[in-house]
A and B are shown apart, each in its own frame.
Chain A
Amino acid sequence: MLLLLENFLISISAIFANKARSSLTALGIVIGVFSVTMMGTLITGLDKTFEGSMSFLGKNILYVGRWEWFSDMDWWEMKNRPRIKLEYIDKIKNKSDLVLAVAPERRKGVSISYQEKNTGIEIFGTSENYMKTISSNIVSGRFFTNNEDRSGSRIIVIGDGVKKAFFGEKNPIGEKIKINNIKFRIIGVLEEQGKFMGIWSLDNRAIIPLGTYERIFSRRDFLTMRVKIPDKNLNEGKDEIMTIMRHLRSLKPNQKNDFSINQTKAFEKQYNSLKLAIGGTGTFITLLSLIVGGIGVMNIMFVSVKERTREIGVRKAIGATKGMIMGQFLMEAITICLFAGLTGLLFAYISSFFLNKLFPSTLDLGLATFAILISMLVGVVSGFIPSYQAANLDPIDSLRYE
């Protein structure tokens, strides 16, 4: 224990005596530790964001429509599929045992204005049941009713982003805003959602009754059905909807589906492959730089042993055993790597602040510890052969070494 401390002090002074050399040597380790911690930070940050976004989209919602998400199916094939009809909604609801709620959804990008201000948003046309199929709530005002939907009332529920852009902290209920020069009365405001994967704002949107939407915009925009199924019956629900849809479309057993049932799972698959790519690249960079760094440290340790051959001879003459010499040089290699690891960690820590501006990311303490242990391990591995060589030098020859 005493010797360990002494060796540590010897290493510190040896390293500081060769500052430039030691820091250049350690660069590979610095990069290695930096990349492993950044990779970890990135992935945990993405995970958190993704988890949040997923719960917003709703894990237990099936999206029935013409388009298959993340599919390699031909675009024109999906484009030529028959439309989803509004009447399916009631039929699904009636025939299914599992479905909790079904809501239609048409959407398009529009420009919305209030007094002199205007902004681009996405407008949704849907039914009264919509609120049952999303995970957010109305924070002020109310949602529209079935009657308002059927009569095509010009009323609108706005997202938090629209409220902030036009009204700030003022109460917007009852105010009139314009889309395509048609006035809408605000009846409700949605809860703030944040950004999907930290990029797309989910708050710059507004919802109007589907009846109103079809009168003002179009009946021909493609329609998606949002079908809510209890969490535990998700797969059965999917099979059930598929059977009902095939029946509605009168498909023969040998015919392919001419519709798609999508799940947020599709995102998960995409996301996992992204994660794998980040993880793979990060691991590759980390390994490569640790190996290069390790070789650098080994090289510098060979130089250090050579330069200090005489010192090794003297130390042996006055009583150092092989183990003690070995310990001294191993400690030196480990200390270089430890400093390098700490430097990499510091850079990663600073970078995580910048990363934090994009999405929530914090440097994980466990990961930091792991990174430091890895860098020390590199020290042990790369310091081993030079230290072994030092320990086995002949004291008489080393004392004579010039």
Chain B
Amino acid sequence: MTLISLKSIYKIYNVGGEEVRALDGVGLEIKENEYLAIMGPSGSGKSTMMNMIGCLDTPTSGFYQFEGEMVNEMDDDQLASIRNRKIGFIFQTFNLLPKATSQHNVEIPLIYANIRKNKRTELAMEALNSVGLSDRMHHKPNELSGGQRQRVAIARALVNSPSIILADEPTGNLDSKSGHEIMVILDKLHKAGNTIILVTHEDEIAQHAHRIIRLFDGKIIEDSEIKK
């Protein structure tokens, strides 16, 4: 079943009077339970692509359907709601709230989804448990290692049972051992039925995915399946 459908997406910026086409007529379909890597050198439109899929940004022109809903016609609040319910973000720099415990960090998406405290605690515990951090519930980010922080971030991305998990260079700030652990978790999440979109420039990381999209100058130049 098709989850995401992008048709002739353009994102055009005006930088000092000069037109910059960050995305130049991109078309893409992503099905449920795909494991996709978006690759490309810097300036290729990779980040814009990710922001577009993550509903953080809207296209200058084109059509974006997410589970049948027209994202390109949505206002800010509707976009916020889509991000809250359907998308789980994992960032390179983790982006946890430094003064909040792991548990609270994981609960934030649930707060915005207006879920009661008891239910929130239960879901947060479940999510932390699934990334193997049930004993780190009350630790703050500065009391955790980089790998552990990223696992908290994964738990936060998972907690609302989103339709896709969007990971932007998830191992970029980690040593290779922690990075490997994170990839193992993502692989496991894929096996459990989640749709995962990786944005990376590392081939080794991209090899975990089952499909690779290569971007160059705002255009898709390659879309290939990886036979496992």
A315–B112 Cα distance when bound, in Å, is 9
Judged by a CB distance under 8 angstroms, whether A66 is at the interface is no
Given the complex of chains A and B, what is the CA–CA distance between A183 and B210 in angstroms? 121
Knowing A314-B95, A396-B51, A396-B56, the reply to whether A321 touches B114 (Cβ < 8 A) is no
CB distance from B185 to the nearest CB of A (A): 19
Q: Mark B87-124, 1 if CB is under 8 A from A, else 0.
A: 00101000111011000000011011110100000000
Determine if B116 and A318 form an interchain contact, defined as CB atoms under 8 angstroms apart. no
Name the interface residues of B74-91: CB closer than 8 Å to any CB of A.
76-77, 80-81, 83-85, 89, 91
A2-B116, A3-B114, A399-B95 known; A322 vs B76 contact (CB < 8 Å): yes
A320 to B89, CA, bound (A): 13
Interface string of A379-402 (1 = CB under 8 A from B): 000000000000000011001000
Contact of A322 among B77, B95, B96, B108 (CB under 8 A): B77
B54 within 8 A of A: yes
B89's nearest neighbour on chain A, judged by CB, is: A317
A14 to B81, CA, bound (A): 25
Contact status of A317 and B56, CB under 8 A, knowing A17-B99, A322-B76, A396-B51: yes
Q: In the complex, what residue of chain B is closest to A392 when comparing beta carbons?
A: B76
Docked complex Cα distance between A320 and B91 (Å): 17
Q: Quick check: is A253 within 8 A (CB to CB) of the other chain?
A: no
Say whether B81 contacts A319, CB under 8 Å: yes
CA distance A3 to B84 in the complex (A): 15
B108 / chain A contacts, CB cutoff of 8 Å: 315, 318
CB of A316 within 8 A of chain B? yes
A311 and B99 alpha carbons, distance in the complex (Å): 11
Q: Are B99 and A324 in contact (CB under 8 A)?
A: no
Residue of A nearest to B117 (CB): A2
A323 CB-CB contact with B under 8 Å:
yes
Task: Verify if A310 is at the interface (C-beta below 8 Å from B).
Answer: yes
Report yes or no: B111 in contact with A6, Cβ–Cβ below 8 A: yes
Query: Is the pair A318, B89 in contact by a Cβ cutoff of 8 Å?
Result: yes
**A17 to chain B: closest residue by CB:** B99
Residue of B whose beta carbon sits closest to that of A322: B76
Which of A314, A319, A321, A324 has the most CB atoms of chain B within a 10 A radius of its CB? A319
A318 near B84 with CB under 8 A, answer yes
Q: Is B156 an interface residue (CB 8 A)?
A: yes
Whole-angstrom CA separation of A320 from B54 in the bound complex = 14
Residues of chain A whose beta carbon lies under 8 Å from any beta carbon of chain B:
2-3, 6, 13-14, 17, 310-311, 313-324, 395-396, 399
| 30 A-B contact pairs sorted by A residue (CB < 8 Å) | A2-B114, A3-B111, A3-B112, A3-B114, A13-B99, A17-B99, A310-B95, A311-B97, A314-B95, A316-B80, A317-B89, A317-B95, A318-B84, A318-B109, A318-B112, A319-B81, A319-B84, A319-B109, A319-B113, A319-B160, A320-B80, A320-B112, A321-B77, A321-B80, A321-B81, A322-B76, A322-B80, A323-B77, A324-B80, A395-B56
* Chain B residues engaging chain A, CB cutoff 8 angstroms: 51, 54, 56-57, 76-77, 80-81, 83-85, 89, 91, 95-97, 99-100, 108-109, 111-114, 116, 156, 160
10 shortest interchain CB distances as A-B pairs: A319-B84, A319-B112, A321-B80, A314-B95, A318-B109, A321-B77, A319-B83, A395-B56, A317-B89, A6-B111
Given contact pairs A14-B99, A319-B112, enumerate 13 new A-B contacts (beta carbons under 8 Å): A6-B111, A13-B100, A310-B95, A314-B96, A317-B56, A317-B95, A320-B84, A321-B76, A321-B77, A321-B112, A322-B76, A324-B112, A399-B91
